[in-house]
Structure 1
Amino acid sequence: MKRAITLWSESGGVGKTTMATNVSAALGRQDERVLVIDLDPQLGSLTDHVGYQELKTGDRDHLGHVLLDDEKDIRSLIVETEDFDLVPSHEGLANIESEMAARNTSLREFQLRSALKSVAGEYDYFIIDPPATLNVLVDNALVAARNVLIPIELTRKGSISIEGLEDTLDSMERGFKKFDDSFELGILAVVPNEVGDSNIYRDTREELETDGKPVTPFGVRKRDVLKEAWKNQMNLFEFAESDETRDLREYEGDLLANFEQLARIVQQGTVDAVEVEA
Structure 2
Amino acid sequence: MITTTVYSEAGGTFKTTTVSNTAVALSRQGYDVLAIDLDPQEGSLSYVFDVADSRSDGEADNLVLHMIDRPKGEFEDLIRTTEEGINVIPAHNMLEDLTSFLNRAAEIEEMSNPGKEYERYAQLHRVLRANDVQNDYDAILIDPQATASDALYNAIYATRTLVSPVELSGKGKLSLDGLEDLVFNLEDHLDIGVGVVAVVPGNVGRTRANKRYQEQLKAQEWPVPIMIGERESLMNEMWDAQGSAFKVVEQGYVDGVPGERRDRPHEQETLEKYEVLAEHLEMEFN
In the TM superposition, what is the alpha-carbon distance from 1:241 to its structure 2 partner?
Answer: 2.7
Matched, 1:254 2:253: no
Letter in 2 for 1:18: T
In the TM superposition, what is the alpha-carbon distance from 1:195 to its structure 2 partner?
Answer: 1.6
Q: Deviations over 1:138-157 (max 9, x none)?
A: 00111111111000001122
Letter in 2 for 1:219: M
Q: Is the 8 A contact 1:5 1:149 kept in 2?
A: yes
Q: Return the alpha-carbon distance in structure 2 between the equivalents of residues 91 and 263 of structure 1.
A: 30
Q: Is the 8 A contact 1:15 1:194 kept in 2?
A: no
TM-score for both structures, normalised by structure 2: 0.87
Structure-to-structure mapping, 1:76-225, within 5 angstroms: 76-81=77-82, 82-104=84-106, 106-117=118-129, 118=131, 119-177=133-191, 183-216=192-225, 218-223=226-231, 224-225=233-234
Q: Return the alpha-carbon distance in structure 2 between the equivalents of residues 268 and 74 of structure 1.
A: 30
* CA spacing shift, 1:85–1:248, aligned 2, 3 Å: farther
Letter in 1 for 2:64: G
Which position in structure 2 is the counterpart of 1:75? 76
Q: Is the 8 A contact 2:121 2:190 kept in 1?
A: no
State the identity as a percent. 33
Instruction: Mark the runs of 5 or more structure 2 residues left unpaired by the alignment.
Output: 110-117, 253-257
Q: Return the alpha-carbon distance in structure 1 between the equivalents of residues 184 and 216 of structure 2.
A: 21
Q: Return the alpha-carbon distance in structure 1 between the equivalents of residues 263 and 275 of structure 2.
A: 16
Q: Deviations over 1:106-129 (max 9, x none)?
A: 111111111111221110000000
Q: Return the alpha-carbon distance in structure 1 between the equivalents of residues 74 and 283 of structure 2.
A: 30
- Give the secondary-structure state (helix, strand or coil) at the position aligned to 1:220: coil
Which position in structure 2 is the counterpart of 1:276? none
Greater alpha carbon shift after TM alignment, 86-95 vs 160-169:
160-169
Which position in structure 2 is the counterpart of 1:241? 250
Q: Return the alpha-carbon distance in structure 1 between the equivalents of residues 169 and 250 of structure 2.
A: 34
Which position in structure 2 is the counterpart of 1:4? 3
Q: Is the 8 A contact 1:66 1:74 kept in 2?
A: yes
Q: How many residues align?
A: 264
Q: Return the alpha-carbon distance in structure 2 between the equivalents of residues 73 and 142 of structure 1.
A: 24
Greater alpha carbon shift after TM alignment, 257-266 vs 204-213:
204-213
Letter in 2 for 1:203: R
In the TM superposition, what is the alpha-carbon distance from 1:70 to its structure 2 partner?
Answer: 6.9
Letter in 1 for 2:48: H
* CA spacing shift, 1:248–1:66, aligned 2, 3 Å: farther
Q: Return the alpha-carbon distance in structure 1 between the equivalents of residues 224 and 126 of structure 2.
A: 31
- Give the secondary-structure state (helix, strand or coil) at the position aligned to 2:199: strand
Q: Deviations over 1:187-240 (max 9, x none)?
A: 001111122221112111211222323223x31112212211221101111222
Instruction: Mark the runs of 5 or more structure 1 residues left unpaired by the alignment.
Output: 178-182, 274-278
Letter in 2 for 1:161: S
Cα root mean square deviation, aligned:
1.8
Q: Is the 8 A contact 1:70 1:115 kept in 2?
A: no
Which position in structure 2 is the counterpart of 1:47? 46
In the TM superposition, what is the alpha-carbon distance from 1:176 to its structure 2 partner?
Answer: 2.6
- Give the secondary-structure state (helix, strand or coil) at the position aligned to 1:252: helix
Q: Return the alpha-carbon distance in structure 2 between the equivalents of residues 248 and 94 of structure 1.
A: 41
TM-score for both structures, normalised by structure 1: 0.89
Which position in structure 2 is the counterpart of 1:180? none
